[in-house]
A and B are shown apart, each in its own frame.
Chain A
Amino acid sequence: MIKHHPKFSLLQSFVDGDLPASLAAGIAIHAEMCPLCQQKVTQLTEQVAEASFEESFDAEFIVDDADTKAAELDFDDIIGQITASDDVEPMKAASVERSVSFKGTQYVLPNALRNMSLGKTAQIGKLSRARILLDEGGIHTNLLHIGAGGSIPEHTHKGFELTLLLAGTFADEQGEYVQGDFIMLDKRHQHQPATEQGCLCYTVANDALHFTQGINKLLNPIGSFIY
């Protein structure tokens, strides 16, 4: 059972199209696995759409002040241009699946990720990481694979860190996580995820992890590796 969901304000920004691609994809992947959130997204989208195109919205915002008015466009001209084209969008066939391989296991990627470019996979011990190249400045997105019996030493986050479990399970002080769980942590949290069978996560973070315990501080380069 999925227990961890995006909070409502995040769903709202998702529907508005205001999130960076990394987080928007995270919500899309979660919603694909979570009927509850999928339904919320569907309803929110309907409501936002309805509100956006309501006539009353028109009346409120029509003002004569030239500064606040959008550019004057020749609508008939645009209609003419658009309808001059005979092109019709072809029906979509079943989408082609894309998979990645970590330590000999094949994983089918969620639809939201299928056209994103992946960097080379780097490895340290049981951790394998492939960057997802989205070019979002300080926000880094990765596919992170933790091999069976592996763990990430106890750490905190300087910024936020989203971990979305794509396959397998892992556990930390808070309990067990399953496929589809959407875990958003910020710098108040400390955790030490470990996996018995191995797992694949989609992670988005806007700062390096920071290891907190004694000797593990020596591992802080891993923080940069995972981030």
Chain B
Amino acid sequence: MQSVHSELPSRQTAATSSSMTNKIDHSQLCQWLKSIAVDRDKQAFTGVFKFFAPKIQRIAQSKLNNEALAAEVLQDTMSNVWRKAHLFDDSKGAATTWVYTIMRNVTFDLLRKMKANKEDNLSDDIWPIAEALNTEDESFTDHIQSRNLLGVIETLPENQQQVVKGFYFMEMSQEQLAVHLNLPLGTIKSRLRLALGKLKLKLGDHHD
């Protein structure tokens, strides 16, 4: 997905570079996020974690004034980074902006849970994570991407196809798929892993 998006002109580029300082190694951060997205690279995640964690912990501590909650913000923010790294698009903004958005949203939902006793997790509607997404361009490229991808997915064994399509196109969770297909969760997970391995092989060449 990255390769197509990065060719789109970015409205932010100018603003981004003007507000950048040399103190943060932005290209290193982007590199790490990409490695997490593509290879589930734990070393890269460790790099990202060690850069952000002490700062997130300190910011959350000063905002929430509570050690346990600050630790929760840290944990939630960083596991979002791990799970969502493939949604980060460096043509849309800096890695720091992306992580900041996740941290701010996690903190907001947590505070709301405490103050209003509501677990409605509104933050991603108020501050969409990929903030500057141009929806028209987005759906267009996604559509083409999906079509190419669909062709490749259809070369997979039927039982793997089901899981991949359910998970990526119908947005079902692994748990929902397990119920829906009446299979153990472990089977869903291993089929998905196998399928993704094969897809990566087939798509790998032109998607890096």
Where chain A touches its partner, the secondary structure class is helix
How many pairs, one residue from A and one from B, have CB atoms within 8 Å of each other in the complex?
A: 167
Chain B neighbourhood of A45, CB < 8 A:
97, 100-101, 131
Q: Is there a chain A Cβ closer than 8 Å to B16's Cβ?
A: yes
Question: A42-B12, A48-B100, A94-B139 in contact; A114/B59 too (CB < 8 A)?
Answer: no
* A:48-68 near B, CB below 8 Å: 48-50, 52-58, 61
- Complex Cα spacing A56 to B169, Å: 44
- Complex Cα spacing A153 to B70, Å: 48
Q: Is there a chain B Cβ closer than 8 Å to A218's Cβ?
A: no
Chain B's closest residue to A90 (CB) is: B171
A27 CB to nearest B CB, Å: 8
Question: A89-B83, A136-B116 in contact; A82/B75 too (CB < 8 A)?
Answer: yes
- Complex Cα spacing A135 to B119, Å: 11
Per a CB cutoff under 8 Å, which of A43, A70, A93, A94 touches B19? A43
- Complex Cα spacing A136 to B115, Å: 8
Q: Are B70 and A25 in contact (CB under 8 A)?
A: no
Q: Are B15 and A79 in contact (CB under 8 A)?
A: no
Q: Are A134 and B105 in contact (CB under 8 A)?
A: no
* A:77-107 near B, CB below 8 Å: 78-79, 81-83, 85-94
Q: Are B54 and A58 in contact (CB under 8 A)?
A: yes
- Complex Cα spacing A89 to B182, Å: 22
Per a CB cutoff under 8 Å, which of A57, A87, A115 touches B83? A87
Per a CB cutoff under 8 Å, which of A21, A70, A79, A113 touches B67? A70
Q: Are B100 and A52 in contact (CB under 8 A)?
A: yes
Per a CB cutoff under 8 Å, which of B51, B59, B86, B174 touches A87? B174
Chain A neighbourhood of B156, CB < 8 A:
none
- Complex Cα spacing A135 to B74, Å: 26
Per a CB cutoff under 8 Å, which of A15, A46, A85, A86 touches B93? A46
Q: Is there a chain B Cβ closer than 8 Å to A47's Cβ?
A: yes
Q: Are A17 and B104 in contact (CB under 8 A)?
A: yes
- 10 A-B pairs (CB sep. < 8 Å): A24-B126, A28-B127, A49-B96, A50-B94, A70-B70, A83-B82, A86-B40, A89-B86, A90-B167, A115-B120
A-binding residues in B (CB < 8 A): 1, 12, 15-16, 19-21, 23-24, 40, 42, 45-46, 49-55, 57-59, 61, 67-68, 70-71, 74-75, 78-80, 82-84, 86-87, 93-94, 96-97, 99-101, 104-105, 107-108, 112, 116-118, 120-123, 125-128, 131-132, 135, 139, 142, 167-169, 171, 173-174, 189, 193
